[in-house]
Amino acid sequence: MLELAILGFLCDTPLHGYELRKHLTALIGHVRPVPESTLYPAIKRLEKAGLLARETQPGATAAPRQVLTLTEAGRAELRERLASPARADITDENRWFVLLAFLRHLSEPSAQAEALRRRLVFLEEPASFFYDGDRPLRAEELEDPFRRGVLLIARATGEAELRWLRTTLESLEGQL
């Protein structure tokens, strides 16, 4: 998830590490803080793999800074990760949001639609946070108001996402 977000933000525009960290924190930091001890090793791995490059530029008011840019190999890697997401990228809400944030970098509407279809199929499967044996429980079946709240909130956000997915898929399929 972190590497995909780094590639996605650098595909948008070159950034220095501090700017990149601010962008990452806005997207995924509320779920999982992005400490420097995690970010900079990930940047080094991507740089070593030839997916991004570093360039020294003069600072506006401070010392020179290292600006990160995506290489052509990095752009190809981003497109590949977006076009062929792992199942967890589809099923985990946080990873899905990272994927969705950069899906526009796939230029083919059919490839964008395929990722959305996979999410749609996942969301249409019966599921719950709570079960009676193998049977998913519905909010109306729970006496615990807090667990009922979890299910009601999840239902509302799920229904909103399903509406958005169907509308967006219809739009993308009209472009094919």
Task: Tell me the one-letter amino acid at 24.
Answer: L
The answer on pLDDT for 172 being more than 80 is: yes
Instruction: Look at residue 126 and give its three-state secondary structure.
Output: coil
CA 85 to chain centroid: 10
In angstroms, the Cα distances linking 70 to 67, 79, 121 are: 10, 12, 33
pLDDT number for residue 6: 96
**Mean pLDDT for the chain?**
92
pLDDT number for residue 13: 96
Closest-CA residue to 101 (of 82, 119, 124, 121):
82
Pairing, β 15-16 against β 135-136:
unpaired
Instruction: Look at residue 127 and give its three-state secondary structure.
Output: coil
> What average pLDDT does the segment 39-64 reach?
87
> What average pLDDT does the segment 131-152 reach?
95
Please write the tens of the pLDDT for every residue from 70-83.
999 999 999 999 99
Please write the tens of the pLDDT for every residue from 7-39.
999 999 999 888 999 999 899 877 667 878 888
The continuous run of DSSP H or E covering 72 comes out as: helix 72-83
pLDDT number for residue 63: 75
Please write the tens of the pLDDT for every residue from 82-114.
999 999 999 999 999 999 999 999 999 999 999
Return the biggest CA–CA distance within the chain.
Answer: 63
Question: Cα torsion for 90, 95, 96, 97, to the nearest 10°?
Answer: 180
